[in-house]
Amino acid sequence: MKLNSGIRFIDGGLKSSLKAMQVQSELVGVSNENIGGFDKIGYQRKDSVVSSFKEFLGVDGISTTIDDKVGRISSTDNPLDLALATKGYFQTSSKDGIKLTRDGRFKLDKAGNLLTLDDSKVLANNGSAIKLPIVPDKLSDILINSNGTVSVFNKRTNKMEQAATIGVVDSNGSIVFNPQVKQGYNEYSNVSLEREFLGLMPVIRNFEANRQIFMIQSQNLTKAISQLGSAS
Amino acid sequence: MYTIQGLIRKSMNNAFTQFDKFGYVANNLANVGTNGYKAVRFEQMLQEDGYLSGTVRTNYKKGSIASTENPFDIAIDGDGFIPVVSPTGQVAYTRDGSLKKGKDGYLLTNDDWIVGAGIQIPTNSYKITIKQNGDVVSYDAVDKPEKLLGKIPLVQFNNPEGLSAGDNNKLTPTDQSGEPILVKDHNYIVQNAIERSNTNVYDSVSDMLRLNASMLASMRMMKVVDDMYNKSINIRQ
C-alpha cells in the first residue's frame, strides 16, 4: 500500500505497536514540559495534536500548538512588573534577534533603558528600544497605563514625561490595540496541574495497552516459529 | 522529540531549582526581624528550549517604619542610602539605621563603621537630636542653644538593583548600579524610628505553596516517566 505522500505502508503489527508506544512517550514529554512551566511567569501551555495518520507517521505525526489563554495574574510590589490581560506578546530585542514573550518582568539599567531580566531590550510600538528620558529616583515614579504608554515623573518640572508606548503584538506580529497592560502584576502560566495529570492517565493506559499488544504478538510469533519449525 | 532520560533530567532540574528558590524564601522569612533588610526574589526564567535559568533580584521597596525609644535609631523615610566607612577605610552604603555612639564619641553603625564623614558627639552633651535633613545637633543643657555637629548624608543610585550586597546589611556599588549621587536637600531622616525588613510574609507563603506544588508535580512526573522507562526496557518477556 502506498499513501498519497509517498510513504510505503509496510509495517507489521509489532512495529505499529512500538510506534504507538513512542507516540505516547512523546505526549508524556509535552505534559512534562507543561508541568515544568506551571509556576513560570509568562509560560503558555502546549497542546499536543496527533495527526490522524499516526499509524503511518508515528512520532512525526505529533505537533504542538500553543494555548494562548491568559494565565493567572497576581499582584507584585514592583512597578516594572507588567502583565497582559489580553492575548498578545511583548517584543524584546537581544543579540539573537527579536523575540516575543509574555514575561513582563522588566528592569531599568543605570542609563534608563527598559530591559528584561536577561538584559534584552524591550521594544516600543514603533520598533525602537524603550529608553526613559530621565532616570527616576524611585521606580514608583514610572507610570504605565493600560495602553502600554510609559511615562516618568520629572522632579524638576513636576510633570509626567511620556517616554514611549510598549509594543504589544499578536503571534502574527501585528500590533494589538488596547493591550490591557497591567502595571504591578505578573502573569503566571495558564497550566493547571490537575488537568495535566488527568490528561496523562489515558496516555499512560494507551502506552500500557500497546505494550501488552506488542507482547502478545511477540509471544504468538515465538510460538509460531517454534511450533512450525518442529516438523514431526 | 523527547527522550526519557531528557524528561527525567528536566524534572530533576525543575525540582532542584524549586528547592533553591525555597532557600531564598526561607532566608527572607528568617530576616523578617532584621532591621533594614531587603527581601530578595529568585526569579526563574524558562527559555524557549525548555532550559531553566534563574536570577536573584533585590526588592528595594521601603520597609515599614517602627518607632523606638533609642535616639540613635534613625530610619530613611524615602529612597536612598547612608554612606558608612569601615575602620579600615572602606566605603559602603546601608539603610540599617540602628546607630550607636562609639568610644571616641563618633556616631557608628552596629558593627563600628563610621557614619558619613564622621560625626563626633561631645561627652558633655545633654541631648542629641537628629533632624529630618540629617543634621545632628547637640544641646549642652536644657536651656542652651543647639550646636550643629554634622550632617548624615544620603546618596541615591540610578539603579539600586545593581548594588552588590555584602555582610551586615552593607551594599557596595557596581558597574550596573552607577555611581552614588549625593542628595542635596533631603528630608527623609526620622529619629527614634527604625526601618523593619520589607519581607512580605503573605507573599512568601504564597510563593512556598506554588513552588511546593511545582516540585511535587515534577517528582510525581519522574515516577510516571520512570514507570514508562521500566516497562519499555522490560518489554521482552
A78-88 average pLDDT score: 92
Per-residue pLDDT, A155:
83
Q: Do B214 and A111 touch (CB under 8 A)?
A: no
Q: Are residues A114 and A150 in contact, defined by beta-carbon separation less than 8 angstroms?
A: yes
Residues of A in contact with B64 (CB under 8 A): none
Q: Are residues A142 and A155 in contact, defined by beta-carbon separation less than 8 angstroms?
A: no
Which amino acid is residue B39, in one-letter code? A
B163 touches chain A (CB under 8 A): no
Q: Is residue A4 part of a domain?
A: no
Q: Do A79 and A136 sit in the same domain of this protein? A: yes
Range of the domain at A159: 73-187
Per-residue pLDDT, B146:
85
Answer yes or no: is pLDDT of A152 > 50.
yes
Q: Do A120 and A173 sit in the same domain of this protein? A: yes
Cell of residue A49, nine digits: 495534536
Per-residue pLDDT, B164:
86
**What is the helix (H) or strand (E) element at residue A97, kind and residue range?**
strand A97-101
Per-residue pLDDT, A53:
61
Per-residue pLDDT, A6:
55
Higher pLDDT, A130 or B47: A130
Per-residue pLDDT, A10:
47
Answer yes or no: is pLDDT of A56 > 80.
no
B55 touches chain A (CB under 8 A): yes
Q: Do B204 and B109 sit in the same domain of this protein? A: no
B233 touches chain A (CB under 8 A): no
Answer yes or no: is pLDDT of A88 > 60.
yes
B27-40 average pLDDT score: 89
End-to-end CA distance of chain A: 37
Q: Do B190 and B107 sit in the same domain of this protein? A: yes
Domain total for chain B?
2
Q: Is residue A3 part of a domain?
A: no
Cell of residue A21, nine digits: 508506544
Confidence of residue B63 (pLDDT cuts 50, 70, 90): confident
State the smallest CA–CA distance between residue A180 and chain B in angstroms.
Answer: 23
User: Which of A153-167, B45-59, B170-184 comes out lowest in average pLDDT?
Assistant: B45-59
Residues of A in contact with B203 (CB under 8 A): 77
A179-195 average pLDDT score: 93
Q: Do A162 and A81 sit in the same domain of this protein? A: yes
Each residue's pLDDT tens digit, B107-117: 898 888 998 88
Q: Tell me what the pLDDT averaged over chain B comes to.
A: 88
Q: Do A64 and A85 sit in the same domain of this protein? A: no
Q: Is residue A180 part of a domain?
A: yes
Q: Do B228 and A137 touch (CB under 8 A)?
A: no
Answer yes or no: is pLDDT of A55 > 70.
no
Q: Do A56 and A87 sit in the same domain of this protein? A: no
Answer yes or no: is pLDDT of A231 > 50.
yes
What's the whole-model pTM score?
0.82
Q: Do A18 and A82 sit in the same domain of this protein? A: no
Q: Do A51 and A126 sit in the same domain of this protein? A: no
B201 touches chain A (CB under 8 A): no
Q: Do B210 and A111 touch (CB under 8 A)?
A: no
Per-residue pLDDT, A127:
87
B29-58 average pLDDT score: 85
Q: Tell me what the pLDDT averaged over chain A comes to.
A: 86
Q: Do A196 and A152 sit in the same domain of this protein? A: no
Q: Do B200 and A35 touch (CB under 8 A)?
A: no
Residues of B in contact with A188 (CB under 8 A): 210
Domain total for chain A?
2
Per-residue pLDDT, B25:
94
Q: Is residue A232 part of a domain?
A: no
Answer yes or no: is pLDDT of A184 > 60.
yes
Range of the domain at B15: 4-60+199-233
Q: Do A195 and A136 sit in the same domain of this protein? A: no
Q: Do A203 and A165 sit in the same domain of this protein? A: no
B45 touches chain A (CB under 8 A): yes
Q: Do A90 and A169 sit in the same domain of this protein? A: yes
Q: Is residue A8 part of a domain?
A: no
State the smallest CA–CA distance between residue A202 and chain B in angstroms.
Answer: 13
Confidence of residue A171 (pLDDT cuts 50, 70, 90): confident
Confidence of residue A1 (pLDDT cuts 50, 70, 90): very low
| Residue of chain B with shortest Cα separation from A29 | B2
| Residue of chain A with shortest Cα separation from B159 | A110
* Distance separating alpha carbons of residues A113 and A94, to the nearest angstrom: 13
Residues of B in contact with A90 (CB under 8 A): none
B204-231 average pLDDT score: 93
Q: Is residue A228 part of a domain?
A: no
* Distance separating alpha carbons of residues A197 and B122, to the nearest angstrom: 71
A45-63 average pLDDT score: 75
Interface probe with A: pick from B1, B45, B185, B220, most Cβ of A within 10 Å: B45
Q: Is residue A36 part of a domain?
A: yes
Q: What are phi and psi of B64, to 5 degrees?
A: -75, 150
Q: Do A137 and A98 sit in the same domain of this protein? A: yes
Closest by Cα among B67, B87, B18, B27 to B191: B67
Answer yes or no: is pLDDT of A109 > 70.
yes
B58 touches chain A (CB under 8 A): no
* DSSP state letter for A19: H
Cell of residue A5, nine digits: 505522500
Q: Do B163 and B222 sit in the same domain of this protein? A: no
B137 touches chain A (CB under 8 A): no
Each residue's pLDDT tens digit, B156-210: 888 888 888 888 888 899 888 888 988 888 888 999 999 999 899 998 999 999 9
Dihedral angle of Cα B174, B175, B177, B182, to the nearest 10 degrees: 80
In our burial notation (b when 16+ CB lie closer than 10 A, e otherwise), range B17-54 reads bbeebbebbeebbebeebbbbbbbbbbbbbeeebebeb
Answer yes or no: is pLDDT of B100 > 80.
yes
| Residue of chain A with shortest Cα separation from B206 | A74
Q: Do B54 and B145 sit in the same domain of this protein? A: no
Q: Do B225 and A32 touch (CB under 8 A)?
A: yes
Per-residue pLDDT, B2:
82
B217-233 average pLDDT score: 93
Q: Do A77 and B213 touch (CB under 8 A)?
A: no
